[in-house]
A and B are shown apart, each in its own frame.
Chain A
């Protein structure tokens, strides 16, 4: 059963068409790899799925609901979390606070309830709330960040900041996780670690869409692959089959030839 799908999604930026009539479905519980040469529209697709952009044409359907026009925060509230190609962690907050902020139950009535509530708690600071911290510590441990708990996020080594983004996304209790190049810039040992973490997340039942340039990672972890080229979907299916698809080979070789 599809948990998240796009139907004929097109995205134009002025004259440039970043996505052209893209339809695909992410099945519940699967890891789907999203590949394609530079500028193919991969990040744009994640931006559209997560509500950061809205499609020019077509629809995004999540569990039967049309979420094409929802803002990013509401999409996240529905159960879709993401990471970014260029990390967007909260630099001057601690690692723990990064995760805690994502855990907040924001409800329907918005920030005023949180303001009001701040006057009626026993622990006077949210980052000292025992239950919340215990949950956050668990999440940090699951991505191997517990040792950095009280470090400011800006002081993290690069690989750790990528993991923090994953932990932060998980803290919103998503059903779908969208990962934009989670292992770019990592050394091979760190990449292996990253694969392990992503696999564990998937084993908890979270469906994953992952963009990756590192072929070893993507072949290792995906159940299925889709390929974008100049904004169009040119292949979809089993990783092995897609990898040997002549169209895909040409897209990659052609892309390099032009560069």
Chain B
């Protein structure tokens, strides 16, 4: 079983490494990069909401904080984006800790509204602090990741490998964290908070911790996007971005490791496909399709694609994740 898994993991890795060499179309390569960034972003949302049950609808705040922080550090202070990405993540983590504080008292829809408000305030700051952020024009001319050994990270192809390494690292962390004592405790808290406290889980500290960790990776994903696109706008802080993470995760499978990965790749490609339809009908059909997919998922396939897969394999054990 374990050996078989390793073979599959090895094959998967080789496939991921070879993919952009086989598919040389730059536009498809671009979609692959975007998929990987959203793999990190959705997975980090999944950690808060899927694993620990805290309905965080303000995840875009962390995405934006990471992006703006890393971009501004590079633009204004000349900090290397390699370092800036991590600093952006840390700043988002600090914001995550702060946003975790209301989560100690609120849950469900109340927490959702509070977190939306948090992201919306930051979006308005980014819109109106024109001296620093250029407002709705956004920041442009953001420096790319500095190259080394003659490699430059300005092409889709080279950036793909950066994003791949980042996603692999993030998923490794998520896998370790979710399967540890800490991860099980988070899931226990999600299932029954009072029950969790009765066996010694101090839910407050666990909530603050998971908000901080999740926010770090959300910010890191945002910074990655900033230095890839080299252009960011306050839209990164909008509810739409959180909704994107939510849809990807729900369709792939909430509270599973593989779910947001599948969902991010699927929806990134799907939404690009829909762009042609949009151009034809001159209407924003993407949100309609997302909403529709979400409803279908909730009504007919709770547990998303991973849930279907588990049922197909006829397994009842496990926490829904690929063992």
Contact = CB atoms under 8 A, between A and B. Distances in A.
Interface of A: 50, 52, 71-74, 76-77, 81-82, 84, 88-94, 97-98, 100-102, 104, 106, 110-112, 114-115, 117-119, 121, 124-127, 150-152, 155, 168-169, 171-172
| Count class of interface residues, chain B | 35 or more
A118 B182 contact: yes
Most central of B175, B187, B200, B206 by chain A CB within 10 Å: B200
Given A81-B198, A118-B183, A92 B320 contact: yes
Contacts of A94: 317-319
A76 B187 CA distance: 19
A76 B199 contact: yes
Contacts of B198: 50, 52, 72-73, 76, 81-82, 84, 88, 169
Interface stretch (B30-38, B63-71, B105-113, B189-197): B189-197
Given A71-B202, A82-B198, A111-B205, A88 B192 contact: yes
A67 to B, nearest CB: 14
Contact of B194 (A52, A101, A152, A168): A52
Contact of A106 (B187, B188, B200, B255): B200
A115 B211 CA distance: 13
Contacts of B179: 118, 124-127
A69 to B, nearest CB: 15
A114 B181 contact: yes
A124 B194 contact: no
B185 A111 contact: yes
Contact of B184 (A74, A88, A101): A101
Interface of B: 173, 175-177, 179-185, 187-188, 191-192, 194-203, 205-206, 209, 213, 255, 316-320
A118 B184 CA distance: 11
Nearest to B176: A118
A54 B268 CA distance: 51
Instruction: Give me the 5 closest cross-chain CB pairs, A-B, nearest first.
Output: A118-B180, A88-B195, A125-B179, A90-B191, A114-B182
A52 B255 CA distance: 28
Contacts of A112: 209
Given A115-B182, A126-B179, 8 more contacts: A52-B194, A88-B194, A93-B184, A100-B184, A101-B188, A106-B202, A111-B205, A114-B185
Contacts of A50: 198
B180 A74 contact: no
Contacts of A101: 181, 184-185, 187-188, 196, 199, 201
